[in-house]
Chain A
């Protein structure tokens, strides 16, 4: 399930275990963002880490054949290029949804990643049918009252839901065990991606 780590929470013990993975992702993303091979210094500035830490992350990346070191530059391999592309697109999507700051934290949450990566394939909730599961990707709404209300009942980008019933008037959703109803008129403003696999509980 959820990866128990978030960089900004600052819990040292957890940090230790996870920092390298994050830094590795950051290096790949930076390489893509810059459009050129980043130097050690670039990474140190971007992620606020020491030279030694960058070195360790790069070593790990080399081991996975994702980058090559060329002097001070970190160059992406073909495989690395692909991975970086995914990470970069994902970062962009999350940034669009939640803003830059949250994007940094969110992108390391494994279970949401694969859905948010597919964000560009999201469809309006009007396309969902009874019993289908999915993840909410975006809310194309302006009225802050409606947004506050949707957030209040637990529907935010990233929320996993299951369609209980599509009625003529409302959509009945199951959000972590709670039933919520959302006006049918709003479904064209809400976008989600359909789940790849069914949920852990197959009894429903």
Chain B
């Protein structure tokens, strides 16, 4: 039996999925998209049930990529039961989607979550009355406390609602016209499908659309110009009526929490709070992540030493290959686990507790000045971990242009691998001031680049309409799952590629291909960047894997003590050049997937020259100032 879990964002669907299925949750991409859909199985009443958790959606009238996925899953109709998780603290909102599901006549059961929280706030929902009106089971759940027995027991009572509602005469007329021509023989109610088509649902049109639809709509336009809006508002009206009937509210507005008083009501308070949180993230990465990295490096060192005698007995070629791939693996793991893992765990903590949503409000004004929407904060923050999942995260942005802009801006957001270069090469050999200098430079170039974009690609009109979830204590398990989903790309794609990359360098070194690569780039390295010519090897290598750049630099220079060969300014320039470098090959793959090969290639080539231009310029600025 296939059971869909559906509901608004932050309504507790994933917690419910975890409670229903235990630990056996599999996260997969919904075919053709990169939006995550997780599933798990459980045996209920002797029957094997497959639970599918759909991306959070405010309604089945999609306004983002994620909502489209949910809409598509519902409209494709490949399921036996739909469990809609509804939020007792905002019943009216949830009921809009309920009515859409009712219109489509899907076998439905409602699970009322957060009802205890609602009652504390003075909102009482009459579950049995709602059940009577809609003719479908409505149960109270609390997945956090694992109180889901009622849902399990009544799961099979899920049924099609007998609740009917009609629209205004002109809409009803349009509906019957659509019904006359529509060719639909699926599980859903034809009337519901017709309404979705009239409402202008892009997914419904893709699945069931037909050419005369526009003509039918046109024939009503003169008298009723906004049939789409009429449908949505009428439905919302019914939802509001329904909610009023089954809930009793004794307090209309609850008190603001002290944190919201500080950060939402107060512009400077919000900014200070944000800065503190960011500083906290960086400090924990530096100390906790750094500690982990030292620990892992130490054990990798021991491991490498222990196989050293065996390696010595192998041929030079095999040794070169194995050694380099092991270094690649070590680099991957010692970055992935401490930095990316901790970063994404912290991010999940911010997200699940409701704090992250506030950042969107706090930073919107600043982001708007850069021509970005406040929502872009989340993908940009993800970029400090790894660019690959960050590119995927741009999907939460409502329009294509914004997504493309943020994806290009990632060249100025040092990912953890690039931070590795900044700390390991620049910080270690030239001093902390130089490393901080690179972050500052990255910050300014981020702003300048965003400003340039704002002129070249003017921002599409965007409107910030967000719901700030109440503060909640996050569940460790949910956080771990979330962090893992985001880390998955890194572990499954990046780490193997690091190993392959290590081998590739082994081959280059074995066949002595270094010289022919170095020559043609002299104009860039020696001419523009004032660096030793060999540095082009690690720089180019940055396309394959940035984690190995320090090791490659050591290889190319013939010593690990960089300060013997390069001046502090040169180390700084090298750090800049490798920070503003092209997105690595895996990010490139992600760019192709999301934006097409042409745009991806254009991004790669233009960002390379753009980055190098800045590296040389900043180096000259530094020289200019130090000579004064």
Contacts and interface: CB of A to CB of B under 8 A. Distances in A.
Interface stretch (A71-79, A117-125, A138-146): A138-146
Nearest to B93: A154
B489 to A, nearest CB: 29
Interface residues of A, number: 62
A154 B465 contact: no
Interface in A154-197: 154, 156-160, 162, 164-165, 167-170, 172, 174-183, 185-186
Contacts of B232: 144, 147-148, 151
A25 B241 CA distance: 19
Given A154-B467, A199-B252, A99 B361 contact: no
Contacts of A154: 90, 92-93, 467
Query: Of residues B245, B249, B365, which shows the largest number of chain A Cβ atoms within 10 Å of its Cβ?
Result: B245
Nearest to A186: B463
B375 to A, nearest CB: 11
Nearest to A185: B463
Given A147-B233, A157-B237, A170-B464, A165 B89 contact: no
A167 B271 CA distance: 14
Contact of B93 (A11, A144, A145, A153): A153
Given A149-B58, A203-B255, A169 B364 contact: yes
Interface in A1-50: 1-2, 4-6, 8-9, 11
A151 to B, nearest CB: 5
Contacts of B8: 152
Given A105-B241, A177-B121, A199-B252, A170 B364 contact: yes
A147 B229 contact: yes
Interface in B242-270: 244-245, 248-256, 260, 264-265, 267
A152 B59 CA distance: 6
A1 B248 contact: yes
Contact of B168 (A4, A100, A142): A100
B107 to A, nearest CB: 22
Given A109-B241, A148-B63, A199-B252, A156 B468 contact: no
Contacts of B244: 2, 109
A181 B93 contact: no
B450 to A, nearest CB: 17
Query: Of residues B58, B132, B199, B462, which shows the largest number of chain A Cβ atoms within 10 Å of its Cβ?
Result: B58
Nearest to B270: A167
A179 B229 contact: no
A113 interface: no
- Per DSSP, are chain A's interface residues mostly helix, strand or loop, or mixed? mixed
Nearest to A99: B168
Interface string A119-141: 00000000000000100000101
- Per DSSP, are chain B's interface residues mostly helix, strand or loop, or mixed? mixed
B368 interface: yes
Contacts of A183: 462-465
Interface in B430-471: 462-468, 470
B241 A181 contact: no
Interface in B454-510: 462-468, 470
A174 B89 CA distance: 12
A142 B226 contact: yes
B61 A164 contact: no
Contact of A98 (B89, B93, B199, B233): B233
A137 B233 CA distance: 12
B264 A98 contact: no
Contact of B252 (A153, A172, A201): A201
Interface string B153-180: 0000000000001111101000000000
A179 B234 contact: no
B30 interface: no
A160 B92 CA distance: 12
A19 to B, nearest CB: 16
A2 B62 CA distance: 31
A83 B597 CA distance: 68
13 contacts: A99-B171, A144-B199, A145-B398, A147-B232, A151-B232, A156-B237, A168-B267, A170-B361, A177-B254, A180-B467, A183-B464, A199-B252, A201-B252
Interface of B: 8, 58-59, 61-63, 89-90, 92-93, 96, 121-123, 132-133, 165-169, 171, 199-200, 226, 228-230, 232-234, 236-241, 244-245, 248-256, 260, 264-265, 267, 361, 364-365, 368, 398, 462-468, 470
Can you list the 4 inter-chain pairs with the closest CB atoms, starting with the nearest?
A152-B58, A99-B168, A148-B61, A179-B468
